Chain A
Amino acid sequence: MAGEARGKVTVDSEECKGCGLCVESCPPKCLELGPELNTYGAHPARYTGRDCTGCGICFYCCPEPGAITVYRIKAKAKAHAPTLGGKYAPAL
């Protein structure tokens, strides 16, 4: 699966319960449970920093509403793509 990362995942370590479903589900295997414990005694998931495609599978497999946030690298050629409004809208 190695290749240039197209996305990025952040995990809210205080919301994550360390169930590991995202680690199991991630197609390119770019998530892992970290060695440290959070306040509630779970090993929260974290992004290894490699290979994320921004597919979003981990987001849908995660049972916590806000533990996982998925980003995608902006496509430079498609800078006008109106995927999101507001602050993410490209300057015209």
Chain B
Amino acid sequence: MANETGVSVVDDEVKMECKLGDKSRSDTGVDHDEYELLHSKSPLFFDLYERKSELQKQTHYCPGCGHGVVHKLIAEALQELCLQDRTIFVSPVGCSVFAYYYFDVGNVQVAHGRAPAAATAIKRAGPDKIVISYQGDGDLAAIGTAEIVHAANRGEKITVFFVNNGIYGMTGGQMAPTTLVGQKSTTSPWGRRPANEGFPMHMAELIATLDAPAYVERVALSDNKNIMKARRAIRKALEIQRDGTGFSFVEILSPCPTIWGKDPVEARHWVAEKMIPEFPLNVFRDRKPEIPSGNDPPQRAVADVLGIAPKAAVCGVSKLKPARRLPSRFKDVKIKIAGFGGQGVLLLGQLLIEMGMREGLQVSWLPSYGPEMRSGSAHCHVCLSKERIGSPLVSHPDVLIAMNEFSLRKFANEVPSGGLILYNGSSVPADFVAPEPKVVAIPAAEIADKLGSTKAANVVMMGALLEETECLAPGTAVTVLEDVVKKVDLLEIDRKALDAGRLFIDEQAHVGAVSQPDGFA
């Protein structure tokens, strides 16, 4: 049965673009003048698997395990379709948890059953990425039932490879939702009884009842012919994702020789004799889903929605104004503001992002403070960018605004060379070893005190920041302050504080500096 000679796997058209087989073995003693390389280890796999110090040439799978075959088929398809560089592989919990040791692509390993949820997030954040959710039957059909059903129902444009061996393999052979009726496992020692444990779940059929999926097929690793069908199905599923057609799902019936207690060849036959009759091989869905477009929500700027649209008369910023050009030294600006609670650290961050929003930038603000807000330590992360922001977390700020000495010492090392540190103090502490970034000490508290309120120190720092980096327009700062600060006398202090901060930097820069075309140093 397994010996059909009619199956030929000489390859189709694709292999010319992507370099195939450049990992040829020169140590095999094959005369390359006489022989041409036909099939060899895919360059999608790492040369060595660094999971452990030994056995680095082998996968961790048992002899005869189906995972290895599925891995090879996926690797081959990705290589042929030239998708390696934009693939993100989501590994599950189960035997294939270590897939990231093998595939030289982007890798994420997620909580049990949650691979489709994580894949959804990854795909939505990067629609051009090829996102693969690779799952076993315990993972997908038991603990992850909700995730797979809803990802499929939403028609997420991801690809799910569901390796079904009818058992929990990694944990030692417990009954899975896909365990056959009568099949013994450690948790169904007398064989699965439908009266007690229910019937095997047919996930491919279940998924195919939904409207959104584009492609659902079940294949098996039971013999040569079916392995070749699996190869085509896996490739097709990835093509469907590449073309953005919709959700693709391939269920692969796969042997688990160790837990089934069979040798690898017997296990393969068992797939054909026992599993396929229960889980028939079929293409259950193959069409582009018709998803009505519906009414798109109106495209409005955030500032517009919040009712803080810029007042054109005041600062000349109109809604149509394109995003302001950020200073060329930064692609985008990542700022960390740190100090004591009560110094206006978080508020300063909020002012900056509100200004960014009004100037048409993408912004994020991530506060971080303990339970002791006031007089405790607080800091916030601010991102201003012309492009979408991947993460609001700022681990290497371009600009650090340290409102106290503690923050200066704590965060200075995070600022890369070329960055900037603005320090609230008359001078940098004598024993502070200045790292590579430029450090500017601004006596903001003293300046603010002279203006009438030490509370305005944060606005002095903001003025200094705007003058030093030119990341946002001072005119926008005035508008934002006018909207945010309700007390008239405080607003007046803030206006002066803003100017004082700018002036301080300006005067500093003039000492020994060469004048620039804009009149500033």
Contacts and interface: CB of A to CB of B under 8 A. Distances in A.
Given A63-B69, A84-B20, A73 B34 contact: yes
B37 A88 contact: yes
B16 A85 contact: yes
Interface string B1-42: 011110111100001100111111100111011111111111
B89 to A, nearest CB: 14
Interface in A37-92: 40, 42, 54-57, 59-66, 68-74, 82-88
Contacts of B75: 65
Contacts of B23: 66
Interface of B: 2-5, 7-10, 15-16, 19-25, 28-30, 32-42, 45, 55, 57-59, 61-69, 71-73, 75, 102, 223-224, 227-228, 231, 257, 263-265, 268
Nearest to B227: A60
14 contacts: A19-B264, A26-B3, A59-B72, A64-B59, A65-B45, A69-B28, A69-B41, A71-B35, A71-B36, A72-B38, A73-B34, A85-B16, A88-B21, A88-B36
A87 B32 contact: yes
Given A15-B57, A21-B264, 13 more contacts: A17-B58, A27-B7, A63-B59, A63-B69, A64-B58, A65-B71, A66-B41, A69-B40, A69-B41, A70-B37, A74-B35, A84-B36, A87-B32
Of the listed residues B4, B25, B69, B102, the one surrounded by the most CB atoms of chain A closer than 10 A to its CB is B69
B69 A60 contact: yes
Contacts of B265: 20-21, 24
A56 B38 contact: yes
Contacts of B57: 12, 14-15, 66
Contacts of A8: 30, 35
Nearest to A27: B5
A10 B25 CA distance: 10
Contact of B2 (A15, A24, A40, A62): A24
A82 B39 CA distance: 16
B268 A24 contact: yes
A28 B3 CA distance: 8
B34 A57 contact: no
B408 to A, nearest CB: 51
Of the listed residues A1, A27, A74, the one surrounded by the most CB atoms of chain B closer than 10 A to its CB is A27
Contacts of A86: 19, 22
Given A12-B57, A19-B264, A64-B58, A84 B35 contact: no
Of the listed residues A1, A10, A63, the one surrounded by the most CB atoms of chain B closer than 10 A to its CB is A63
B424 to A, nearest CB: 57
A71 B37 contact: yes
A55 B5 CA distance: 9
Interface of A: 1, 7-8, 10, 12, 14-15, 17-21, 24-29, 40, 42, 54-57, 59-66, 68-74, 82-88
A84 B22 CA distance: 10
Nearest to A71: B35
9 smallest CB-CB distances across A and B, nearest first, come from: A63-B68, A66-B41, A19-B63, A71-B35, A19-B64, A17-B63, A59-B39, A19-B264, A27-B5
Dominant SS at the B interface?
A: loop
A72 B2 CA distance: 22
Contact of B40 (A19, A61, A63, A70): A70
Dominant SS at the A interface?
A: loop
A68 B7 CA distance: 18
Given A20-B264, A71-B37, A84 B15 contact: yes
Given A28-B5, A56-B10, A65 B35 contact: no
Contact of B15 (A26, A69, A83): A83
B472 to A, nearest CB: 52
A36 B230 CA distance: 33
Nearest to B30: A71
Contacts of B29: 10
B44 to A, nearest CB: 9
Given A8-B30, A72-B35, A88-B37, A20 B263 contact: yes
Contacts of A20: 64, 263-265
Given A8-B35, A21-B64, A40-B58, A69 B25 contact: yes
A41 to B, nearest CB: 11
B202 to A, nearest CB: 26
Of the listed residues B15, B16, B72, B231, the one surrounded by the most CB atoms of chain A closer than 10 A to its CB is B72
B324 to A, nearest CB: 48
A61 B226 CA distance: 10
A27 to B, nearest CB: 4
A67 to B, nearest CB: 8
A14 B57 CA distance: 7
A27 B9 CA distance: 12
A74 B36 contact: yes
A68 to B, nearest CB: 7
A66 B3 contact: no
A2 to B, nearest CB: 13
A87 B264 CA distance: 37
Nearest to B41: A66
A11 to B, nearest CB: 9
A64 B264 contact: no
B4 A27 contact: yes
A40 B67 contact: no
B7 to A, nearest CB: 6
Contact of A65 (B24, B33, B42): B42
A92 to B, nearest CB: 16
Contacts of B36: 71-74, 83-84, 88
